[in-house]
């Protein structure tokens, strides 16, 4: 179950610098925090920096440049970065010439404050200014700290091929920014206005990924349903269909959808292609219409239910997950009950559950933070309890079902077993032996033998 996984610490373990670029002898280490978009952003930064001659290292110990790509969505995400910066003091003591940079959403939010505050940070770079990183690092080596935090209406890094780690799953950003302005959310301020990449460049990137061995692509955007290629007049459903057609053997996922824009065309497109995974992440945030309005979510819970019913009608068996915030300003106990009601009615396969965290500059910031932390905590606990029971129940119903899974490799818990993922995004553990004849990245068929836990177990057919 996906309970409160707000900030995944994902440390890049990148490939080495492309051979064609002459090395400048300096080593770069990048650490990534936050959402999937940030993983892809770090790959863009790695690409830019290796193009300037940096060698990529997977350890901070011997790096000449350490960059943290950061998240600002909740206060605890930022706290983590502050703590990490304190650790980096140790590296600075050992290497006086070390350049430390803060990139991404927190850089955009805190700007110059980050440099003056800690005496650790040399450069601060917002999400639309990654092209300036090589010059800013160069200046920092010369003793000049630098800040680049301008947001752009056009930057999509469309021409930059992200430097990906080897693997079978790739993230592809199809748009940047967000225009929704949910009142609790800092993203429109840290990532700026919404803009889409060109249709053709995305389809050609996806083709290239298949050719270099990737088996699964997740198309990313803050609200992918708003994707639009103006010159070609193509929307997100068109893009998904074009990708699925261009590489029929590749699996496609996407994230995230907004309930207001989750239209019939998209649902029907998903149903029409076998290689578009039957998995929808559809955050509802709160179950009460007054709270939804205060959040500026622009839909009612009745509209949300109608969309869920449509998904279930057109794609029976489609897995649905969600995001929920508890303790939004002025949320009463009765209004929180409405959130519980949605969880019980929809029966999600999993949910990311968060306590409301006030963010400066947002509209909700001005509403105060009147739900005490202890009450947010008990509401969260209740949601976790309800969702855990539902996850286990829906997983128990999987026993006997047949799934095609994408083989990922040894199971994290017990490497003697292997694991793969269903197109509904569930992990299946299965017994492995070296004579079984499959390799990582193969699609194999399994029957589910056990489902009474957070993950499924299966046998190969
Ligand atoms: N406090 C708590 N959760 C938040 N989210 C976004 N902003 C906040 C905030 N200020 C959650 C929403 C969103 C997910 C990515 O993070 O549920 O869908
Ligand atoms: Fe934030 Fe709302 Fe945009 Fe999602 S849709 S990034 S919650 S403003």
Q: Which of 325, 365, 368 maximizes ligand 1 atoms within 8 Å of its Cβ, making it the mutation to test the pocket?
A: 325
How far is Cα of residue 140 from the mean position of the Cα atoms in its chain?
30
Average pLDDT over residues 93-107: 94
Q: Is the pLDDT of residue 116 over 80?
A: no
Q: Is the pLDDT of residue 145 over 70?
A: yes
Q: Which ligand is nearest to the CA of 188?
A: 2
Average pLDDT, the chain: 93
* Residue of minimum CA distance from atom 18 in ligand 1: 323
How many A from CA of 222 to the centre of ligand 1? 12
185 ligand 1 Cβ < 6 A:
yes
Q: Is the pLDDT of residue 11 over 60?
A: no
Q: Is the pLDDT of residue 9 over 60?
A: no
185 ligand 2 Cβ < 6 A:
yes
Nearest atom (ligand 1) to Cα of 285: 17
Element (H, E) at 322: strand 319-326
* Residue of minimum CA distance from atom 12 in ligand 1: 323
3-state secondary structure 60-112: CCCCCEEEEEECCCCHHHHHHHHHHHHHHHHHHHHCCCCEEEEEEHHHHHHCH
Distance CA 122, CA 48 (A): 19
Q: Per-residue confidence at 329, pLDDT binned at 50, 70, 90?
A: very high
Helix axes 333-346, 373-396, angle to 10 degrees: 10
Task: Give me the pLDDT at residue 452, please.
Answer: 72
Task: Give me the pLDDT at residue 136, please.
Answer: 97
What confidence tens digit (pLDDT) does each residue in 164-176 have?
Answer: 987 899 999 999 9
What confidence tens digit (pLDDT) does each residue in 349-397 have?
Answer: 999 999 999 999 999 999 999 999 999 999 999 999 999 999 999 999 9
Q: Which of 225, 321, 354 maximizes ligand 1 atoms within 8 Å of its Cβ, making it the mutation to test the pocket?
A: 354
What confidence tens digit (pLDDT) does each residue in 338-352 have?
Answer: 999 999 999 999 999
182 ligand 2 Cβ < 6 A:
yes
Which of the residue ranges 7-16, 305-314, 431-440 would you say has the lowest mean pLDDT?
A: 7-16
Which pTM value belongs to this model? 0.93
Task: Give me the pLDDT at residue 12, please.
Answer: 36
Q: Is the pLDDT of residue 420 over 80?
A: yes
Average pLDDT over residues 92-108: 94
Q: Per-residue confidence at 118, pLDDT binned at 50, 70, 90?
A: low
């Amino acid at each position: 179950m996906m309970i409160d996984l707000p900030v995944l610490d994902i440390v890049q373990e990148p490939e080495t610098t492309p051979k064609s670029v002459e090395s400048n002898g300096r080593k770069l280490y990048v650490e990534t925090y936050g959402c999937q978009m940030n993983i892809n952003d770090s790959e863009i930064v790695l690409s830019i920096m290796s193009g300037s001659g940096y060698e990529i290292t997977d350890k901070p110990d011997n790096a000449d440049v350490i960059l943290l790509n950061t998240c600002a969505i909740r206060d605890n995400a930022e706290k983590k970065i502050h703590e990490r910066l304190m650790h980096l003091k140790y590296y600075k003591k050992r290497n006086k010439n070390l350049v430390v940079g803060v990139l991404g959403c927190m850089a955009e939010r805190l700007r110059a404050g980050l440099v003056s505050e800690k005496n650790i940070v040399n450069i601060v770079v917002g999400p639309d200014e990654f092209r300036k990183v090589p010059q800013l690092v160069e200046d920092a080596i010369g003793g000049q700290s630098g800040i680049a935090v301008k947001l752009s209406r056009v930057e999509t890094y469309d021409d930059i091929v992200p430097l990906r780690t080897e693997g079978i799953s790739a993230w592809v950003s199809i748009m940047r920014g967000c225009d929704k302005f949910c009142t609790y959310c800092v993203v429109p301020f840290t990532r700026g206005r919404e803009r889409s990449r060109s249709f053709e460049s995305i389809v050609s990137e996806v083709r290239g990924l298949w050719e270099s061995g990737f088996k699964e692509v997740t198309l990313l955007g803050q609200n992918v349903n708003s994707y639009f290629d103006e010159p070609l007049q193509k929307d997100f459903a068109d893009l998904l269909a074009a990708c699925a057609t261009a590489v029929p053997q590749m699996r496609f996922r996407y994230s995230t959808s907004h309930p207001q824009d989750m239209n019939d065309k998209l649902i029907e497109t998903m149903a029409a292609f076998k290689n578009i995974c039957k998995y929808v992440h559809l955050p509802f945030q709160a179950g009460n219409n007054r709270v939804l309005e205060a959040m500026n979510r622009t839909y009612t819970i009745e509209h949300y239910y109608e969309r869920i019913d449509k998904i279930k009608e057109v794609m029976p068996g489609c897995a649905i997950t969600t995001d929920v915030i508890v303790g939004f300003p002025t949320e009463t106990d009765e209004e929180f009950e409405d959130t519980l009601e949605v969880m019980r009615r929809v029966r999600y396969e999993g949910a990311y559950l968060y306590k409301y965290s006030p963010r400066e500059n947002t509209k909700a910031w001005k509403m105060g933070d009147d739900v005490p932390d202890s009450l947010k905590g008990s509401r969260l606990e209740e949601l976790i309890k309800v969702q855990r029971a539902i996850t286990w129940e829906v997983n128990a119903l999987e026993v006997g079902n047949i799934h095609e899974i994408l083989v990922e490799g040894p199971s994290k818990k017990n490497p003697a077993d292997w694991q793969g993922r269903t197109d509904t995004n569930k992990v299946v553990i299965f017994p492995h032996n070296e004579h079984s004849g499959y390799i990582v990245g193969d699609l194999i068929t399994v029957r589910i033998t056990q489902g009474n836990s957070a993950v499924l177990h299966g046998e190969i057919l």
